[in-house]
Chains A and B, each alone.
Chain A
Amino acid sequence: MGAFGSPIHCSQRLLFVHSMETVLQVLIDGILSGLLYALVAAGLCLIWGVMDVINFAHGEFLMVAMYVSYWLGFLAGVDPLVSVLAAGAFVFLLGVLTYQLIVKYTVGKPPLAALLATFGLAMLIKNFCLNRFSPNFRILSDTWLGDKTYHLGELIIPIPQLVTGIIALLVIGLVYALINSTRFGWAVQATAMDKEAAELMGINTERIYLLIFGIGGACVGIAGGIMPTYLAVHPEVGSLFGLIAFICVAMGGFGSIPGALFAGLLVGVVESFAGFYIAPVFKYVAVFGLYLAVVAFRRKGLFGW
């Protein structure tokens, strides 16, 4: 800061610089958490869009992935950046199992059946982890990215969150490409539009559903895999993430992956600004309020039709 000028002038200038930088800092924080929300939401979005099934255990899938990554790091010294893959694969299997053992039996049944069954599953997974791993919270220390920050002038960019954001963009891009430009993706779209017709075309819809549940799980598994770098793992950690994912998916428009990405970013930014400029205690109120405001104007979400 310049040492010239009157003290009053200087402090005014300081205030201005301070507030400009604060705005940017709040924006960065918002975007980074928004990308994470988007990645968590993308998995849910896929399942929801294709199968019209609400997976209530989504937050618990995230928690399981965090445990996978934590235990790999704690017992075998694997860095979360590597165990992301293992966590993704594990939750892929968890998703496949969930479909085979539970969700399969609810397809074509009353619409709430799958939601209630996965609600039971959420309860089961959460308390199973509590039973096995104790309710203690766990932090992975000495990770490659842990606590590293990049200073851009006065702005602070946390590296772990930044890497999470990049991974989120990559994964969401991959999923989008998978759905939109592969034969498998066309089959998925056909199934989502009209199951019977797709079956008549020779598409094995059962297998499509199975894989979609797995891929949806893998998305949230990757998100959960990297999170132990900066968030403590405990059995309750997934609940609020799951809820925010619901909001993102619905806000973006069911089944729209760009919608989920955009909504996730919006949620993150709104949360960050409301938390800082209104009051921290209102940050989630603003997020839920934002959803109501969006659907008041666009009844099918931002990208839905």
Chain B
Amino acid sequence: MVNPTKNRIFGKDAVWLLFIAVVAVLPLVPGFADNSFRMHVFILILLYASMAQAWNILGGYCGQVSFGHSVFFGIGAYGAAMALVTYGTAPWPGILIGMAAAGLVAVVISYPCFKLSGHYFAIATFAIVEIFFRMFQVWDWIGGAIGLDYPVIEEGLWNLVWYSKTGYYYFALILFVIVFGVVRWLEGHRFGYYMKAVREGQETAESLGVNSAMVKLTAMAISAVLTALCGVFFVQYNLRVDPSMVISLDMAMKFVLITILGGAGTLLGPLAGAAVLIPLQEYTRAFWGGLGGGIDLIIFGLIIILMVIKQPAGIVGIFQGIRQRIAKARGKGGAEIGTP
């Protein structure tokens, strides 16, 4: 039981390391980094893949569907922005405080919410987003509805701001490696199995001695802290934050949408979802957005519908389908490939 798993994981890791290496050297390829919009799309793919992966810890592996992650995203973003704009320091202390605050808020609000089941939990997270959004809008200390605008500052690691895309590209890649690394580590760790056990059935998990409340809270905290880190990137990239940019239901839906369409509860899913949805969103807007009739959004909506009803298991499901068929063709049978 242990050995084949280990083997498979090593194989998987090799693919991931190769992927990261390829992404890392891409900007060095002549002509690649010249096209700043393409760089922008790649950066967004890495960002949204990380966001979705952070959500995936709780939503995919642990089975608790949260529509509230934009709150943690916002807290992270505000942490960095407050440090830089309000206090005029480097964003670093704000990042740490923001991540800690996100973790804390996550634990405090989810402790009562986790007692709720299914839809009641989902709606509760909706409600929390709306409450935080409106409170942030009237909270003058953090800029309220006016938001925080970055001044013109020097580029570099100290300020975490770059004038070119390449700096952000590597920042996003590091973010991606951190978030995926954590999830990859969790997958092989005992805690990962606990989470899956809770997803498959809380009562069964409890009967096996898993403290399901503790597992869910820990998963939520890890997920929130990583989400806050993604929020830091978002604000450093856009150089502005206001409540409607980060703590909105739209943003919350993106976490869910990308993960589910990619394939929830799989390591590859969030990346697959982001790699398909983000270019679609950005390029439909680039091609049709200027026409003014919302045509890009009509098409985007249509594509979401089609993807969901044609392939509800997500993009990863397609890969698995293909693998299964290849396996069948070879006469091995597809038994070893479980569904996510």
Contacts and interface: CB of A to CB of B under 8 A. Distances in A.
A and B touch in the complex (CB under 8 A): yes
Interface of A: 48, 54, 102, 105-106, 109-113, 116-117, 119-124, 126-128, 130-131, 243, 246-247, 250, 254, 281-282, 284-285, 288-289, 291-292, 295-296, 299-301
Interface SS majority for chain A: helix
Contact of A124 (B127, B138, B298): B298
11 contacts: A110-B264, A110-B312, A116-B304, A119-B253, A119-B257, A127-B294, A246-B126, A282-B134, A282-B138, A295-B120, A301-B120
Contacts of A102: 305, 309
A122 B301 contact: yes
B308 A289 contact: no
Given A116-B308, A243-B126, A254-B119, A123 B300 contact: yes
Contacts of A243: 126, 130, 249
Q: Which 7 A-B pairs have the closest CB atoms?
A: A120-B304, A127-B294, A123-B301, A124-B301, A288-B127, A105-B309, A131-B293
Nearest to A114: B308
Nearest to B305: A120
Contacts of B137: 281
A296 B112 contact: yes
B297 A123 contact: yes
A247 B305 contact: no
A300 B120 CA distance: 7
Given A243-B130, A243-B249, A250 B123 contact: yes
Nearest to B302: A124
Nearest to A289: B131
B256 A112 contact: yes
Given A116-B304, A124-B305, A292-B124, A299 B131 contact: no
A285 B131 contact: yes
A181 to B, nearest CB: 27
Given A123-B304, A124-B302, A243-B130, A106 B253 contact: no
B127 A131 contact: no
Interface of B: 65, 112-113, 115-120, 122-124, 126-128, 130-131, 134-135, 137-138, 249, 253, 256-257, 260-261, 264, 293-295, 297-298, 300-305, 308-310, 312-313
A120 B302 contact: yes
B124 A295 contact: yes
Given A127-B294, A246-B126, A113 B120 contact: no
A121 B249 CA distance: 16
A121 B313 CA distance: 19
Contacts of B113: 292
Contacts of A110: 260, 264, 312-313
Contacts of A247: 123, 126-127
B124 A291 contact: yes
A145 to B, nearest CB: 32
B304 A291 contact: no
B240 to A, nearest CB: 22
A50 to B, nearest CB: 14
Contact of A292 (B128, B253, B302): B128
Nearest to A249: B123
B214 to A, nearest CB: 20
A178 B223 CA distance: 45
B87 to A, nearest CB: 27
A191 to B, nearest CB: 18
A127 B294 CA distance: 5
Nearest to A283: B134
Contacts of B124: 250, 291-292, 295
Contact of A117 (B117, B264, B298, B305): B305
A140 B303 CA distance: 35
A120 B119 contact: no
A120 B303 contact: yes
A116 B126 contact: no
Given A123-B300, A291-B127, A295-B124, A130 B293 contact: yes
